[in-house]
Structure 1
Amino acid sequence: MTVKLDTVIAREKLKPRREPYWHRLDSGCMLGFRKMATGSIGSWVARYRNAETGERPKQALGEFSDRPPSERFSAAKEAADAWFSHLGRGGSSEIVTVKAACSNYADHILATKGEERAEDVRARYRRWVDPEPIAKIALPKLTRRHIETWRKKLAATPVIVNPHAAEKNRVERPRSASSLNRDMASLRAALNYAYDLAQVSNDLAWRVALRAVENAGTAREVYLDLPQRKTLITASPTDLAQFLRGLARLPLRPGALAALTVGRFESRLDVLTVGKDKAGRDRKLKLPKDTADFFRELAKDKPPTALLFTRADGKAWTKDDWKKPIKLAAAKVGLPADTVALALRHSAITDLVTGGLDLLTVAQLSGTSVAMIERHYGHLRADHAAAALATLAL
């Protein structure tokens, strides 16, 4: 039996009971109102009947307590219609929370891109999603306000530069726009994946609220010319100097260089296969003779699984291990205070671009996109082009 629920007076006359009162919206589509106690505002629920299977899934819609009583029926009907439309398009009736959506996406990454990439997104979810109220929200109930609240809190949370150090030695800095973009991208990817799986009917909650900050990435300001790079290497401890020589010879990210094993270098062909990198896939670099000889010496008498670059104690390099020694070496020889490992990559890319190498090849060597190279280094090519045009003057 259906009842009238579209007026406040009609709902106030209903007796409290556990079973919802049902209002028929369309064939197989029911909107329910549950009133558990006298004086309560009540909650809304939708029920759908699948004509083919006979199944009758339900979806809790909430109380809509943020709306005036006279608007709650319309708000509940709108939410129910969206859910009915979702099911009618073949969408899932399974109730998936934001946390579950993130877990599902991490499993998808594990199956398609491997454990390392999956663990990276899992770590971001553990830090920035799982402990937050947004984690428990079911996707159909997720709103733009929920996402914006989460984003504002994340943007205001400082970044711990050296999280593995003792607590008294940890350093915090304000979260940069690029850091915010990286963490938002993980959540956005999980929600988009849930949308693709038809676990939510639309992406209105996050389409704008999780939009990346434009022009967040800024070019590395510190450029070291060849003499400065040599000076930095000379001033560094032996193990760090070897690592910096590798960075000076190839435009790799420090983490990618630190992860290289002996098996990644094909000595017979002078080819290095770079694996761990943001590019997400292996890429092969044909090395010039001097650089190949450098890697041959590093690989000498080591098994294929051994790291090419290690600290003096034989352990792997991490960003927390090279940051302070580089700062000390730079200060010793009067280099800029903000000299970091990535300055060597920036310097190498700068030299390749100003040397006339086409941007596609520079991007392939660097493990990044042509768009990124153009954004940060395109002005260097403009200067190069102007100089070339000058030669045409009569």
Structure 2
Amino acid sequence: MALDLSKVKEREALPSRREPHWQRIRPGCFLGYRPSVREGAGTWIARAYDEDQRGYRLKALGDFGELPGRDRFAAAKKEAEAFVDLVESGGQTEEKVETVEDACRRYAKANPEADGRFKRHVYSDSIAKLKLAKVRRNHLKDWRQRLAEKPALVSRRKKGDRVIRPRAPSSINRDMAMLRAALNKILAPGAPDTEAAWQEALKPIRNADRQRTLYLDRNQRRALLANVAAEAEPFVRALCLLPLRPGAVASLTVADFDKRTSELSIGKDKSGKPRRILIPRAAAKLFAGQAKDKLPAAPLMMQANGKAWNKETWKKPIADAVIKAKLPDGATAYTLRHSTITDLVNGGLPLLTVAQISDTSAEMIERHYGHLSRHAAAEALAGLAL
């Protein structure tokens, strides 16, 4: 009996092995599935026959873990067929942009953050298959409503109940901004107050950004570090020492840290503009230890499995440490960023300097934003040592 990888139960019953379980999609096109040895989503592999090379070529497609199990086969099949088309055409293929999904995938190639949001909110939605020529305001208005009604997942723990909350207006704005940017690359704005004015359905919610008021003082941050898992302690300590976004710290590589000058290059952050800052002695010592015996391209702050930290892997150890240390509910990785910025401001550092070193988008001070001394910033940062 032929294997059917589209059936979730059939996939889950497959034994774990090095060689993928293959399903023939069409002549010369195969889709493989390798179950995870541990708990978690298995990985997908595409196999295409190359006439020129007289052999098969493989491509790892990932686990599509952000999609429901029932949708992963379809997503993997689509990417496998695209890979086969590329191989059969000699490595060259004409990109077709016909649907909303096509526009999003093109935009996501240069924007990894957008790709994640599209996987969560667009590709699995009915709007993905909508032809660009037929996009109307009501379509995007309906999609926006579905987005707003979708609960936000607070906890992804395998054990216990899933913790959810209503989606925040600021989150809705960020998700809409990505789709609006992708469509802007392809579609011209429609005439105002008409159904062709698709852009009007994606206007941001005003005053959506909430002020982060939860603050952890130095003693509370020390307690957090004392209770966090050893694997995550260096990553969390970095967040306590520098006013950076968790994603920016997670994206750092060994090559981004210059041990000789104690300078840190931050390339991946919200503004998209790279910057270079001097860091305090405590942070430099931490990073020097993390960089030891690693290749330049390796993650500076690394998990035990060798991979960089991400939003889904740093949540649990921090949440567990918050409970153990009896810290206020709601304390997260972003709370540490807010706390360090608060310390800088309370310490008398000019707001413009804080904005520069932390990459803060503050419209009230943006028109006054200018070049400031990195040495002055380093002196202020030195006061953040725990």
Q: TM-score, normalised by structure 2?
A: 0.62
AA paired with 2:175?
A: D
Q: For residue 271 of structure 1, what is the aligned residue in structure 2?
A: 263
**Counterpart for residue 182 of structure 2:** 190
| Partner deviation per Cα, 1:142-161 (whole Å, 9 max, x = no partner) | 33322222211111112234
Kindly name which structure, 1 or 2, has the bigger radius of gyration based on alpha carbons: 1
Partners of 2:179 and 2:284 in 1: CA distance: 41
Question: Using a 3 Å threshold, how does the CA distance of structure 1 residues 137 and 202 change in structure 2: closer, same or farther?
Answer: farther
Do structure 1's residue 239 and structure 2's residue 231 form an aligned pair? yes
**Corresponding residue number in structure 2 for 1:319:** 311
**5+ long unaligned stretches in structure 2:** 1-95, 367-386
* Residue identity opposite 1:125 in structure 2: F
Alpha-carbon offset, residue 184 of structure 1: 0.9
Paired position in structure 1 for 2:77: none
What secondary structure, in the 3-state scheme, does the structure 2 residue paired with 1:217 have?
Answer: coil
Partner Cα separation in structure 1 for residue 290 and residue 339 of structure 2: 23
Match of residue 82 from structure 1: none
Q: 1:140 to 1:104 in 2, by over 3 A?
A: closer
Fraction of identical pairs, as percent: 45
1:124 is matched by which residue type in structure 2?
A: R
User: 1:335 and 2:327 equivalent?
Assistant: yes
The reply on whether 1:160 has 2:153 as its aligned counterpart is: yes
Q: CA deviation at 1:347?
A: 0.2
Q: Alpha carbon RMSD of aligned pairs, Å?
A: 2.8
| SS of residue paired to 1:273 | strand
TM norm structure 1:
0.61
Equivalenced residue count is 268
Q: Structure 1, residues 253-303: CA drift from partner, whole Å, max 9, x if none?
A: 112112211111011221101122222132111123333233222222322
1:173–1:277 distance in 2 versus 1, CA, 3 Å: same
Q: Of the candidates 107, 119, 124, which is equivalent to residue 117 of structure 2?
A: 124
Q: Using a 3 Å threshold, how does the CA distance of structure 1 residues 249 and 151 change in structure 2: closer, same or farther? A: same
Query: Which letter does structure 2 place at the counterpart of 1:175?
Result: R
1:229 to 221, 231, 243: 221
Offset at residue 333 of structure 1 (A) = 2.5
**Aligned 8 A contact 2:266 2:275 in 1:** yes
Q: Using the TM superposition, name which of 318-327 and 365-374 deviates more.
A: 365-374
Match of residue 294, structure 2, among 297, 302, 315: 302
- Asked whether 1:281 is paired with 2:273, we answer yes
Q: Alpha carbons of 1:249 and 1:211: their partners in 2 closer, same or farther (altered >3 Å)?
A: same
C-alpha distance in 2 between matches for 1:194 and 1:265: 39
Whole-angstrom distance in 2 between the partners of 1:300 and 1:225: 31
CA distance in 1, matches of 2:245, 2:319: 18
Give the deviation of 1:331 after TM superposition: 2.2
Distance in structure 2 (CA, Å) of the matches to 1:319 and 1:143: 34
The residue identity in structure 1 corresponding to 2:284 is: A
Q: Give the whole-Å Cα distance in 2 for the aligned partners of 1:178 and 1:201.
A: 25
Is 2:112 the counterpart of 1:107? no
Aligned residue number for residue 170 of structure 2: 178
Q: Would you say the 8 A contact 1:162–1:320 is kept in 2?
A: no
